[in-house]
Amino acid sequence: MSRLTPSSIWNIFLASGKRHLLLTGGRGIGKTTALCALPLPVGTPCIRSALVPGKGVWLAGPWGKTQIQIGAMGQASAALPQQRMKPLESGLCEAAGAVRQAAAAQSEFVLLDEIGFLESGSECYAAALDTLFAQKRVAAAVRKQELPFLQRQLSRPDALVLDLDAPAAQMGCVIMASGLGRRFGGSKLLAEFCARPLLHYTLQATSGLFADRVMVTRSAEAARFAQSCGVRTVLHTLPARSDAVRLGVQALKPGLAGAVFCPADQPCLSPETLLALAAAAQSVPECLWRTAFGGQVGAPAAFSRTFFAELCCLPAGQGGGAVLKAHPQLVRCVQAQRAEELLDIDTKEDLETLQRRILNDP
Burial of 342 (0-12, 13-18, 19+ CB in 10 A): buried
Q: Are 164 and 24 in contact (CB under 8 A)?
A: yes
For 171, what's the count of Cα atoms within 13 Å in the CB-facing half-sphere?
30
Full DSSP string of 171-218: EEEEEEE----TTTTS--TTSEETTEEHHHHHHHHTTTSSSEEEEEES
Classify strands 258-263 and 296-304 as parallel, antiparallel or unpaired. Answer: antiparallel
CA neighbor of 269 nearest in space, from 167, 198, 195, 212: 198
Q: How far apart are the first and last CA of the chain?
A: 23
pLDDT score for 63: 63
- Local structure of residue 78 (DSSP, 8 states): S
CB 60 within 8 A of CB 48: yes
For residue 360, what pLDDT is reported?
Answer: 78
213-264 tens-digit pLDDT: 999 999 999 999 999 999 999 999 998 899 999 999 999 999 999 999 999 9
* For residues 164-190, average pLDDT: 88
Half-sphere exposure of 193 (CA within 13 A, CB side): 28
CB half-sphere exposure, 156, CA atoms < 13 A = 24
Average pLDDT taken over every residue of the chain: 91
* DSSP classification of residue 355: H
pLDDT band at 179 (very low <50, low <70, confident <90, very high): confident
pLDDT in tens, 68-105: 999 998 765 555 544 578 899 999 999 999 899 999 99
- Digit-coded pLDDT (tens) for 340-355: 999 999 889 999 999 8
**Closest listed residue to residue 290, CA positions, set 273, 265, 308:** 273
DSSP assignment string, 278-320: HHHHHH-TTSEEEEEETTEEEEEEEEEGGGHHHHTTPPTT--T
- The SS3 of residue 122 is coil
- Structure letter (DSSP) for residue 211: S
Nearest to 143 by CA among 154, 132, 128: 154
Beta bridge partners of 292: 297, 335
Cα-to-chain-centroid distance, residue 32: 17
For residue 232, the model assigns a pLDDT of: 97
Model confidence band, residue 306 (pLDDT cutoffs 50, 70, 90) = very high
**pLDDT confidence of residue 121:** 86
Q: Which residues pair with 111 in a beta bridge?
A: 46, 139
* Amino acid found at 88: L
Quick: pLDDT tens for 108-136. 999 999 999 899 889 999 999 999 999 99
71: helix, coil or strand? strand
pTM for the full predicted model: 0.89
- Region of 195 on the Ramachandran plot (φ > 0 left; ψ -120 to 50 alpha; else beta): left
pLDDT for 78: 54
**pLDDT tens-place string over residues 14-36:** 999 999 999 999 888 889 999 99
Which three-class secondary structure state does DSSP give residue 329?
A: helix
